[in-house]
Amino acid sequence: MKIELASSYGFCFGVKRAIRIAEEHKGSKTYGPLIHNKDEINRLQEGFNIGLAETLEDIDADDAVVIRTHGIPKHELEVLKAQKNRVIDATCPYVTTPQQIVEKMSKEGYSIIIFGDKNHPEIKGVVSYAVNPEDAFIVLEAEELEALPLSGKVALVSQTTRKPEDFLKIVNALILTRKEVRVFNTICNATFENQDAAAALAKRADVMIVIGGKHSSNTKQLHSICKRDCEESYLIENEQELDPSWFEGKELCGISAGASTPDWIVQNVIDKIESIKQ
């Protein structure tokens, strides 16, 4: 059986940047998981003494605090600064962009619509930048728009890891009912590249292995995309979750990985698959 990696996979620019920042600040704490990959978080803890604060109460006044790639709500950032914590911002620049857009357009009187998962940390941060919280709405489906008390003009942004075709459904629904719609495509280029590469490989593969955190939005999106063209697509966090039966009678095993998946985990998975097929 041949094993083939997608032409684009794994760590994106924002994650590489965040990991480097964390490694440069040994003994600091991240506020929330730095990225959605528990194995990489464990590596940072063991090798660089990087702690994890799940809540503001877990942060002491003298702590150096690394802000995770997904960002945090604006008011929580203000609390950290008021406490005189040393704040080290590792928020991905692609996430900072929709935060800034929401703040600017909200100040200009636009109703804000954010396409994404309301429970995702990135979206919790982005929506917090709206000047008027009652005029900022989070949606996942176009049907949700009908019930919203929108003003005359609307500004739309997207969670960075959503599918472009799903974002387009929201855009189309809005322009049919609103006179003024400002659309900001805030989906990350790295997300496009990884998704396109995974889709191309899934069309040829007999089995697809997608590696990444089970709570990672972009990894779950990759898995969903792969399953469209390769029914036998499996989402795993590391090599320990591989099932030898997946590879029986297969000729081509494709591998992709989410933006929070380090190369060392990908290599461990490849090594395990090769040992299974010997």
Residues 102, 67 contacting (CB under 8 angstroms): no
* C-alpha to C-alpha distance for 64 and 80, rounded to whole angstroms: 10
- Known catalytic residues are 122
Cα torsion 213, 214, 216, 221: sign: positive
Residues 161, 191 contacting (CB under 8 angstroms): yes
Residues 121, 32 contacting (CB under 8 angstroms): yes
> For helices 93-107 and 13-23, what crossing angle results, to 10°?
110
* C-alpha to C-alpha distance for 221 and 119, rounded to whole angstroms: 16
Residues 275, 267 contacting (CB under 8 angstroms): no
